[in-house]
Structure 1
């Protein structure tokens, strides 16, 4: 019994030490950006390995893929998880959280941040770093120059907002566009699984059309309208942050319009094949 009590006391001691470590270091304000980025990169690697294991055991079509297709399969599993995580939190911060509410008129909306918002952005930075690494390593198998430009601009803008605390609201508005990523990935999965002529593929195309229209076209219009209404606050941002508020959304918005035209073209082609 004495040994058991000593063991319990030792476990509680280790638990207390771990809690102190997490509270005072890993989740302390100065360390949140770095721990969230490193943790995200590590988690991406873990998700890749988990996807590989689960897919090998439970998806027969996975084992029939080429090596590069299996790599992309696992890579898309990571991007899907990240998209669900960051788009959910972005929607929360933009539309439901009090952090960026106009009622808090005492602090400029362009410099508001919290531990959770900073941590969330760090997770995205870690993902973009990990994904860029894979894109460069296997270039151009996982994406061409447009993916490099998109990820690089996103990583720079998100990292700036995370480290400085400036423009986090507009960063989250742009990150809501990640809500379209799971549908895009599902379309790829259906394609490699030989289900390109299925009803699921058609429904997926329709969902992508509406999701893209709302999250990557209309929402960008809303963002610029919000900037216009709060320009008296935006003008007080540092020069680099001020430029990012305009340059990055314009560049990404232009790319979104180009991709949207391709989505419309693909949807028309799919609908034309249906009886």
Structure 2
């Protein structure tokens, strides 16, 4: 028994070592990061889409009664939720917990990047490519022109930051706003599942309101403050990067305010009905 236990431990350590080598030598290797990360992002989207379909068909009785388009959107929202959780966790870590963008180090913060930050951006690029392809495929059933504009702006900015390494701090701060996506998707799930009058729907609406306020309103104010503080560094970026550093956050902030207004109106209606 002791020998078998030791063999199992050794086998686990061997697999872990091989996995670390795979990540270090291939997935995070400098020349391959843009390619492997985007492919990983597309693969993760397909996997999340299929897992959502599998779990829903087994554990949600009403899934089979949905229309074909509703099932596609259901699975698509599962995919976007998986990306949102991944990119939010990684963005929070890289911006606030890692030393990558710390003020303790010398050098321009606008030029800082790492293999991990590049790989993470590549995964996000893979997601936006996959989701944008589905939006165009079923246009406008999965989203109108505002979603196309949002995805194109995000895809352009993220791809540029990944390839050049410029402005990754601001890119990740914008990506933190994806934290609101699971709540938005859950609202749609509950509505489609016939639970619009449930307490869970109301609670989710309140949570979505505060999540949006923090991640897409207050955080964007802090982002604009950082852009102001680092303006002399941003001036040294490539002209296209300089343009993206202002155009993308401003455009997204305007859309965020428009959507936030709709969320606020919807929450008011829900609370009024409850009274």
TM over 0.5: yes
What residue in structure 2 maps to residue 259 of structure 1?
A: 259
The CA deviation at 1:15 is 10
Shift in alpha-carbon separation, 1:228–1:15, aligned structure 2, 3 A: closer
Structure 1: any 5+ residue segments left out of the alignment?
Answer: 1-12
Shift in alpha-carbon separation, 1:97–1:81, aligned structure 2, 3 A: same
RMSD: 1.9
The CA deviation at 1:21 is 6.2
Structure 2 distance, partners of 1:14, 1:219, is 40
The CA deviation at 1:119 is 0.7
SS of 1:133's equivalent? helix
TM-score normalised according to structure 2 size: 0.91
264-273 vs 38-47, greater mean Cα deviation: 38-47
What residue in structure 1 maps to residue 171 of structure 2?
A: 171
| Number of residues of Structure 1 aligned to a counterpart in Structure 2 | 263
What residue in structure 1 maps to residue 140 of structure 2?
A: 140
Q: Is 1:225 aligned to 2:217, yes or no?
A: no
What residue in structure 1 maps to residue 102 of structure 2?
A: 101
What residue in structure 2 maps to residue 269 of structure 1?
A: 269
The CA deviation at 1:26 is 3.5
TM-score normalised according to structure 1 size: 0.91
The CA deviation at 1:271 is 0.6
The CA deviation at 1:17 is 8.9
Q: Is 1:62 aligned to 2:63, yes or no?
A: yes
The CA deviation at 1:25 is 3.7
Structure 1 distance, partners of 2:139, 2:192, is 20
Asked if structure 1 preserves the Cα contact closer than 8 Å seen for 2:132 and 2:151, the reply is yes
Structure 2 distance, partners of 1:187, 1:26, is 35
The CA deviation at 1:24 is 3.6
Shift in alpha-carbon separation, 1:138–1:98, aligned structure 2, 3 A: same
Structure 2 distance, partners of 1:181, 1:161, is 22
The CA deviation at 1:193 is 0.9
Q: How does 1:1-275 map to 2 (within 5 A)?
A: 23-104=24-105, 106-275=106-275
SS of 1:69's equivalent? helix
Structure 2: any 5+ residue segments left out of the alignment?
Answer: 1-13
The CA deviation at 1:245 is 0.5
The CA deviation at 1:16 is 9.2
Structure 2 distance, partners of 1:19, 1:224, is 38
The CA deviation at 1:102 is 0.8
Structure 1 distance, partners of 2:146, 2:132, is 12
Structure 2 distance, partners of 1:209, 1:20, is 43
What residue in structure 1 maps to residue 5 of structure 2?
A: none
SS of 2:99's equivalent? coil
SS of 2:102's equivalent? coil
Asked if structure 1 preserves the Cα contact closer than 8 Å seen for 2:28 and 2:116, the reply is no
